[in-house]
Structures are given as C-alpha cells and as structure tokens.
Structure 1
C-alpha cells in the first residue's frame, strides 16, 4: 500500500495552479474538467511518478472551518521537504509569498511556514546545516 494522491483544499483552483506551479515549481500531472471545477493534480519534478497533490476546491461545508482552525493555530496543512529552508524562504519571499514563521532551527531540521494564498499554511523543512543541529 502507498499514498498516490492527497488533497490540498484551495479556495481558487486557478490561483492555486499558479502558486503551486510557477512559484513552487510543481508540474501538472492531471487536469480534467469536471463541470465548474477540475480534477487538478500536480507533482514534484523531482518525483514525477510520486504522490500527486490534488488542488481540491474547498466547497464542502466541513473544509473551511477545519482549515481556518488550523491556520488560526499556525498549523500547516502541508509539509514540503526542500534542500535549504532558508534559501527557499528568501526566494519565495522575493516572489511575494508571506511567511508566518521565518526559518527556525528545530533540532535536526530547519522549518519555515508560508501562506499559499489559497487558504493554507505550508511548512518547508530541510536538514539543519552540518554542525548546527540542536538536541
């Protein structure tokens, strides 16, 4: 058994597609019209046959209160591994994304959290630089 698709609930699929492809670098895997919405998935170019992120409309009545509660508590709904969280913080900040947590050492990793502009907080995580890992 393995994970093949996981949902990221978004308030606007077109905006999410722009953020997740142009800014974050994902590639479209599936884009199938479904009435007013689409079955829209993206994948990492580093693992094109890996897990697909379904950019799913957040219209179910349970979704927005759940995601709003996570966001209010500063809890990311998605975690992305990167080579260097500090470098990605600089790059994505320069592209206009707002960070709610700057790069922060947390033991063996460095994390940063940004608002994806589509209703979610996303955490970046990278290994701490050699010699910088905290217990």
Structure 2
C-alpha cells in the first residue's frame, strides 16, 4: 500500500511557521532537524482525530514539510503555491470546536461556514495566505 507522506510548503521562516501550525492550527511538530547547511528538516502534521499524536511513523496522516525559501523564485511562491485555489483540506470530527479554537487563535476565515451534502466547511487562510478548507465530513 502507498500513501502520500509529506507535502512541501514553502515558508519564509521556520520558527514562525512552526508556531503558526502548532499553536494556531493545532498541528503536532513531528521533526525539526538541523541539516547543517542553514536549512532544517521540519515536519508538522495534524493530530489524529482522536487527539493522539502519530510520531514520525504513526498513522496520523500526511504531514507538511516546511521548507524555507532559498531564493527569490521560491520566496515569490510563498502563499501562492496553488494559484489562489483552496489547496489544503483539514478534516475534523468536531467542526464547531475546531472553528472556535482556530478563530480564538487568530486564524482568519475568509468564507462563511457552509453546510453542503458532503459536510460542514469553511475556508481559512494560513499564515502565508494559502487557502484551506476546515471540513467535517457528513
């Protein structure tokens, strides 16, 4: 069986990105390893729906590899990696709880909550302007 383990997200600063994803979005920091050349291997991942952590080989799902931009071309892609479309989908088992927690943490929801046949959803921006769905499946 195969699965997508990591998706790279280009950021401007490791520590600022770690703080946003762990504090505002409630992700876990899975790994933060200095690579010796000024770069780091930084992986964050949503906690499992039951609130547990998955560790580096756990079953908590796909993680984000936070990669600091190294040049102007990479810096230009920060926040625009999906061309302005919703590019990330954060599933929840309790929409109201997570929406309230994220709002209190300063996360900016850019589209109102909707109730669709597939579930309850609202669009938010991460620290860099990337669009995400917060989604509780029906």
The number of residue pairs the alignment matches comes to: 126
Paired with 1:63 and 1:76, the residues of 2 have a C-alpha distance of: 20
Q: What's the C-alpha RMSD, in Å, of the aligned pairs?
A: 2.4
Unaligned runs of 5+ in 2: none
Paired with 1:21 and 1:51, the residues of 2 have a C-alpha distance of: 15
1:36–1:77 CA distance, 2 compared to 1 (3 A): farther
Task: State which of 33, 36, 39 in structure 2 corresponds to 1:37.
Answer: 39
State the TM-score, normalizing by the size of structure 1: 0.76
Alignment of 1:71-90 (within 5 A): 73=84, 75-90=85-100
Paired with 1:102 and 1:63, the residues of 2 have a C-alpha distance of: 30
Aligned to 1:124: 134
Please list every run of at least 4 consecutive aligned residues from structure 1 whose deviation after the TM superposition is greater than 4 angstroms: none
Paired with 2:81 and 2:31, the residues of 1 have a C-alpha distance of: 30
Unaligned runs of 5+ in 1: 129-135
Q: How far does residue 58 in structure 1 lie from its aligned partner after superposition?
A: 3.8
State the TM-score, normalizing by the size of structure 2: 0.75
Paired with 1:53 and 1:31, the residues of 2 have a C-alpha distance of: 12
Q: How far does residue 84 in structure 1 lie from its aligned partner after superposition?
A: 2.7
Q: How far does residue 98 in structure 1 lie from its aligned partner after superposition?
A: 0.9
